[in-house]
Chain A
Amino acid sequence: KNQVEQSPQSLIILEGKNCTLQCNYTVSPFSNLRWYKQDTGRGPVSLTIMTFSENTKSNGRYTATLDADTKQSSLHITASQLSDSASYICVVSAGDYKLSFGAGTTVTVRA
């Protein structure tokens, strides 16, 4: 069964600090992995997408990494801002219409 596990479930960080979110998956075959940001009460918005051959992808202060051998991905947030408070969702595709979603990590940035 295709599964996506994210950790931690939630975290609190001080403004200006860095943090790293983890994603482990068992989706097979693997096509691509996306990270989405979802503000409370809103729809998810794509941050990065990586295929099998990509190890790192950046989008401003967000940097995603992918290790396809160990089936792990991480999302690093640099110099966090209050606007980074949101849920971050890891989504893995097996190459068809069907996506496997993680439950998300809720990040709270405190001033």
Chain B
Amino acid sequence: DGGITQSPKYLFRKEGQNVTLSCEQNLNHDAMYWYRQDPGQGLRLIYYSQIVNDFQKGDIAEGYSVSREKKESFPLTVTSAQKNPTAFYLCASSIGTSGAAYEQYFGPGTRLTVT
């Protein structure tokens, strides 16, 4: 898992509630990413950030929001607008601003269950 931490490991929430997933890295990486993993599917990109105070939508950004106020932190908020939020969420970081040119290191993940 390198120097990336995600908390909590398990998270439960009721429908209609917003919830924030934490992601912190001590690798001094510029770029950070949020992915969603569902059974039988490849990881899908939610949001990414190449530099502090800047972030871009990925393929499935609807119902999610992020912030990048510090280089080491990239929290993800799952809002009540996300229709199917139950999933395994993975945070990643890479040293370079061109993500594909550098390896992405993944955190241990947060499993979110919404009932």
Task: Point out residues on A near B: beta carbons under 8 Å.
Answer: 4, 9, 31-32, 34, 36, 41-46, 49, 89, 93-104
Task: Name the one of A43, A89, A98, A103 contacting B100, with C-beta atoms under 8 angstroms.
Answer: A98
- Check B106 for interface membership: any CB of A closer than 8 A: yes
Determine the distance from Cα of A102 to Cα of B44 in the docked complex, in whole angstroms.
10
Chain A nearest CB: distance from B100 CB in Å?
4
What are 25 A-B pairs with beta-carbon distances under 8 A? A36-B106, A41-B109, A42-B109, A43-B1, A43-B90, A43-B106, A43-B108, A43-B109, A44-B90, A45-B106, A46-B105, A89-B42, A93-B100, A94-B100, A95-B101, A96-B100, A97-B31, A97-B98, A98-B45, A98-B58, A98-B99, A99-B104, A101-B42, A103-B41, A103-B42
Point out the residues of chain B lying under 8 angstroms from A36, CB to CB.
Answer: 106
Closest A residue, CB atoms, query B97: A97
Chain B nearest CB: distance from A93 CB in Å?
4
Point out the residues of chain A lying under 8 angstroms from B104, CB to CB.
Answer: 99
Chain A nearest CB: distance from B16 CB in Å?
27
Q: Is the CB of A46 within 8 A of B103?
A: yes
The 7 A-B residue pairs with the shortest CB-CB distance in the complex, in nearest-first order: A97-B99, A101-B42, A43-B106, A93-B100, A101-B43, A44-B106, A103-B42
